Chain A
Amino acid sequence: MSSSLSPRERMKLDRQKMPEQDPAARARNFAEVNLGFPEQMALIEAERCLQCKDPRCIKGCPVNVKIPRFIELMTEGNIAAAAQSLLGDNSLPGVTGRVCPQETQCEIECIRGNKGMPVGIGYLERYVADWARNHRDQLATTKAPPTGRRVVVVGSGPSGLTAAGELVRLGHDVTIYEALHKPGGVLVYGIPEFRLPKKIVEQEVERLQADGVKIECNVVVGRTYALQELREQFDAVFIANGAGLPVFMNVPGENLKGVYSANEYLTRVNLMAAYEFPRADTPVLVGRRVAVVGGGNVAMDAVRTARRLGAEQALIIYRRTKAEMPARVEEIHHAEEEGIHFEFLTAPVEVLGNEKRWVRGLKCVRMKLGEPDASGRARPEPIPGAELIVDCDVVVVAIGTRANPLLTSTCPDLKLNPHGNIVVDEQGMTSLPGVFAGGDIVRGAATVILAMGDGKRAARAIDAWLAAKPHATTSA
């Protein structure tokens, strides 16, 4: 592919369609849905970029990836340089290329979207990232000389991993403490294999370890170590423990057998590999009819998981309409293709059980959309008397998560907002000097890229803070 196309020629190129597994087949397996561009398609898609003088896509990206630059390097046939450029801006592009809501971030801003389809920025990011993962040896890594400073990162989700990678390159001695037995946070326990293969996260973790990051699993900060101890033993702390506390509906019947939080359901299947039972020891209830309550990415992941586990019917119960669903557009589309059923404008009011206390259905009420609420979305209101019963034998509650108080409740000096999220300043520093925080524990349930952005910013702020701090003292 030459890089000498005229703008007119570029405009003639159609957006390349991501090759996917056939919907009927994939609805019954856990392999990745999107197969990735072959080289030829990636290069055609790259040629679609107009290399705008004032690229709007960059502003749409929460971490301002220099999008046209890496695309340009692709079209010049210099994939290694493209990878180098991309990795300079985003340390987990193989993850974000798969899970970012590009349609509301970079791609919505892309000038080509004014007339036709925007450049497939996410797909290109994924392509370059996958190349980079398999060609590590062709990428230069720079590492500053050791500073002698020790930094501890609490939690190994995208925020913690990004901060750790950044800090180790700045020459600091970095240890990650992770509560679970496997690093990756939501990337390994929440987001399913068919969207984000675990191998990708594993490779990223191995790369960090090769760069010198130490990861200790099974360490629950707040229990195994108090935050205060970490402050004494390390020169700085970065808290990125996520927002992992599941919210339940608070309706009667929620403790019947067959009701799961999405966290439990997905953790059993992803982290504990319950879909392999009995080859894996952790079980999960399969269900003939599985009802998932919610409309975000978590709900989509749960309902598509239910289908793959073998549910005859897997359905979404959502209190607004398709237009208000916060899930990524691609996930909703994929779910539809896989035969997921949607009940919009429907809200559960009770979980119904049989005489043995197993779930047998969900009593719901129909909703209508009213005035916009604080989030700007139309507020759903129940239609009096409009009740219906949805038959199901498994219910998965995916209506959100909140900050887990396990750690924060053990340090009363750490300033929290009324929702229990940690309050930070512009640098990402908490009310405790030398203690920084980022990701979902600060923002509430947000996105991978925002968590990563926080990690990167905090790493730089920690670096600056350490530089200003005299050596050989411990903070108290």
Chain B
Amino acid sequence: MHRVVQRRQLSPNVTLLEVEAARIAQIRRPGQFVIVRLGGNAERIPLTIADANPAEGTITLVIQAVGKSTRELVALQPGQAIQDIAGPLGHPTEQIDSGHAVCVGGGVGTAVVHPIAQGLHHKGLKVTSIIGGRSREWVIFEQELRALGDVLVCTDDGSYGRKGFVTDALKDLLSTAGADIVYAVGPVPMMRAVATLTRPLKVRTIVSLNPVMVDGTGMCGGCRVSVGAETRFACVDGPEFDGHLVDFDELMDRLGTYREFEQRAAQCPDGPCRIGLTAPAAT
């Protein structure tokens, strides 16, 4: 059992949970994630380790409530517990030794980019973060990232920082200061847009992929993604890959596999509701 020791609302739908996981707190490295299962008949879902406190034996999870499992997790109050946390999983972030790194975070991806920026900063790199959200209240982790370097904020409605997408800010930055490496974490369309922007400039771009996972140990293959000509399992070969080689269309498409189920789960959480569901191709 992993007790929640702290809970903080970061934006209207993003919540920070600090939970006990002593071993993981000690050894996790930037870029790694855990598989979390609340208990009972709950799903196993992957969440990035946004931060860790080895002295206290806790890790920080930053969770965007998008469906049943994440909503149940963010409803946890301090003192309540998560039954299963396995990890740290995945490869740590590939880091360069010197130069200028640009970390681009969209939405909850900003929380995922944070440990990466932290790692780079501790290595002595110059770090610039570009983060975005719908409007001011959706921007998260700004202060934490400011402690590590420059931060450029973009909002869709212009209510805070620059009006526009993170890619607009990135484009300008690349043409002025330039970058040795770009890390992009966020919704698939954002990561694809970043990769499209950096590809002709030949700026190495690392993206953190979020396919549907089950075990997180390479056993099911459900998390497979196409990178270059190869099929890779994101949980063990990733989750970070060369953004210039990733087939984002396929990823986006596969993420929609369970859309109908997710809508139903959202509608009838505990019901004995037993509507038969078939693969959409058959209907």
Contact = CB atoms under 8 A, between A and B. Distances in A.
Interface in A351-398: 354, 356-360, 393-394
B132 interface: no
Interface size classification for chain B = 35 or more
A406 B87 CA distance: 12
Contacts of B264: 278
B87 A358 contact: no
Interface stretch (B46-54, B102-110, B274-282): B274-282
A218 B282 contact: no
B217 A220 contact: yes
Contacts, number: 148
Contacts of B226: 255
A281 B265 contact: yes
Contact of A267 (B214, B250, B262): B214
Contact of A261 (B221, B250, B279): B221
Interface in A126-179: 179
B220 A272 contact: no
B99 interface: no
A34 interface: no
Interface in B226-274: 226, 231, 236, 250, 253-254, 256-258, 261-262, 264-265, 268-273
Interface in A252-282: 254-255, 257-258, 260-261, 263-264, 267-268, 272-273, 276-282
Contacts of B24: 224
A289 to B, nearest CB: 7
Given A223-B89, A267-B214, A281-B68, A356 B280 contact: yes
B270 A264 contact: no
B271 A218 contact: no
A264 B222 contact: yes
A288 B170 CA distance: 47
Given A224-B88, A406-B236, A244 B218 contact: yes
B23 interface: yes
Interface string A200-242: 0000000000000000011110011100000000000000000
Contact of B86 (A220, A261, A282, A404): A220
Most buried by B among A180, A288, A289: A180
Given A223-B88, A224-B23, A358 B281 contact: yes
B151 to A, nearest CB: 32
Interface size classification for chain A = 35 or more
Nearest to A179: B217
B212 to A, nearest CB: 10
A310 interface: yes
Interface string A294-310: 00000000000000001
A281 B258 CA distance: 11
A407 to B, nearest CB: 9
B83 interface: yes
Interface of A: 179-181, 189, 217-220, 223-225, 244-246, 248, 254-255, 257-258, 260-261, 263-264, 267-268, 272-273, 276-283, 285-289, 310, 354, 356-360, 393-394, 404-406
6 contacts: A180-B217, A244-B219, A263-B221, A281-B43, A281-B265, A356-B281
Interface of B: 23-24, 27, 35, 37, 41-44, 68-69, 83-89, 214-215, 217-222, 224, 226, 231, 236, 250, 253-254, 256-258, 261-262, 264-265, 268-273, 276-282
